[in-house]
Structure 1
């Protein structure tokens, strides 16, 4: 079956759509070396066949959206294009409809120092827009279905990304990374969500790469300012120590209140760091039951 034939926004108006999990889990399981600043982008540069295989593992688990391996790539247009191509090949080989969504990671992700979980980089909105514009243009030239403006820690970066998006006319969804009921930079969530909600090109808003316990309060804040579909793809609750690249065990249990997320408006549901194909397969079954 070819890639999804209809717009993702249309599907979200009718049902829950299942996202994949983070590629790093599966690539590591496949023996890829993810050390260095590029993270999954290193596999894309050195072993693109393994990136395609990782995408395919999520397709077999039931994922309907594949997020490209471009999160931590700066302005390397060839690698950005390759990220879309690898996901597209896996989508085209699927036995169900699959959308290819191109990841535009935050400025801090390219720094590879954990600053995407702090924000407030000391750059102006214009400087952030100038950084993101060539990345967005390169990804769009490769023909993804939708852009993913993900793990955004700060309303200033949201504003910059939305400004670039407006110049392109492309559809996108945007997700903040949150902690303690605020964005990672400490901004109130309603105002941050309202920025994205006001963009006619943004088809969904929500949260990612956060503790699962943070999801429901954040979705409730989003639902208070928009009727657009919401997005939820947390990590497993572990805490990463950037200096040592190690993880502390999760504080929350393995069960997620997915039904409550959906009642609040979540229609794009999946996993982020340390969530692999097995967990996505479990979510596939759970989300299918919610749409009955």
Structure 2
């Protein structure tokens, strides 16, 4: 890990003082859609498709989030896997590995360019996105978790490990193990990273209400279980409706966690089977102060949370 990340993760005693505020990014894929790349909505690779067709667009999105105030951006590898790139792009295994590595390089280049343009920005880190197995099925099952009864834990580990190895080889600062619907999958991934020297990451669950992950596990118990690992530096929820965040945070209060709690919700809109967003938008910046009072210290957004939303969120928290 970099010294910058080490500074963020200095242990604090429960109740001693507040953790440093860390601003995360928003929805990389949905920002790309807003930029005009609407075809990725129906693509089994989602934003990872542009790693091969328009890498400069991905770098531009990372730069937009950094400039909006994000301290950490997440690579566009959420829906990328070696097997998926082989299947949907026709790449060899080696070509697929190099493309995933390039996803890390693009984020690093974005950080370097923003740092040169804004020398006062010191904390610009890169988290390698490790999406759930369900995300790469391209059927919305990262919001159900029902695939867990159809794949063995050993096969799940065998599927996840290549991408994790590639991201670490490419030099990410940490991993973003995200949109995980089930505790069992999170623990399987943690087993992998515990065998990789220097590997650290955060874990965020997708949640279906104010108490449960999308797969039906109790959220507070899931956070407790993943926080046990020394390799997990922070945990919380992502791509979850802002409506549920306060209740989810409240459910953690009795545990007195000393590691950072992450809140990275979506816009509150719903994604239906026609691959369209609908419903009311929640302003995450208006809710963020309440979330920090309830224990969150790493905050950002997910789908349909754009760079300007991140800018407003940061301004709301520092003013």
Q: Which residue of 1 aligns with 2:53?
A: 46
Q: Which residue of 1 aligns with 2:132?
A: 106
Task: Quote how far apart the aligned CAs of 1:148 are.
Answer: 0.5
Q: Which residue of 2 aligns with 1:172?
A: 201
Q: Which residue of 2 aligns with 1:31?
A: 36
Q: Please identify the structure whose Cα radius of gyration is greater.
A: 2
Cα distance change on mapping 1:278 and 1:46 into 2, 3 Å: same
Q: Which residue of 2 aligns with 1:124?
A: 152
Find the partner of 1:279 among 297, 305, 309. 309
Alpha-carbon displacement from aligned partner over 1:49-104 (angstroms, at most 9, x marks no partner): 11001111111111111100000001231221111111100011122120000000
Alpha-carbon displacement from aligned partner over 1:104-146 (angstroms, at most 9, x marks no partner): 0000011111001011312222221111111100111100101
Pick which of 98-107 and 225-234 moved more: 225-234
Contact kept in structure 1, 2:129 and 2:177, CA below 8 Å: yes
- Report the secondary structure of 2:139's partner residue: coil
- Where in structure 2 are there 5+ consecutive unaligned residues? 11-18, 83-95
Contact kept in structure 2, 1:22 and 1:272, CA below 8 Å: yes
**In structure 1, how many angstroms separate the alpha carbons of the residues matched to 2:66 and 2:282?**
27
Task: Give 4+ residue runs of structure 1 displaced > 6 Å after superposition.
Answer: none
Which structure 2 residues correspond to residues 117-266 of structure 1 after superposition, within 5 A?
A: 117-121=143-147, 122-169=150-197, 170-180=199-209, 181-225=211-255, 226-241=257-272, 243-250=273-280, 252=282, 256-266=286-296
Which TM-score applies when normalising by structure 2? 0.85
Task: Quote how far apart the aligned CAs of 1:9 are.
Answer: 4.7
CA RMSD across the alignment: 1.7
1:8 aligns with 2:5: yes
Which TM-score applies when normalising by structure 1? 0.92
Task: Quote how far apart the aligned CAs of 1:12 are.
Answer: 5.2
Contact kept in structure 2, 1:196 and 1:205, CA below 8 Å: yes
Contact kept in structure 1, 2:285 and 2:313, CA below 8 Å: no
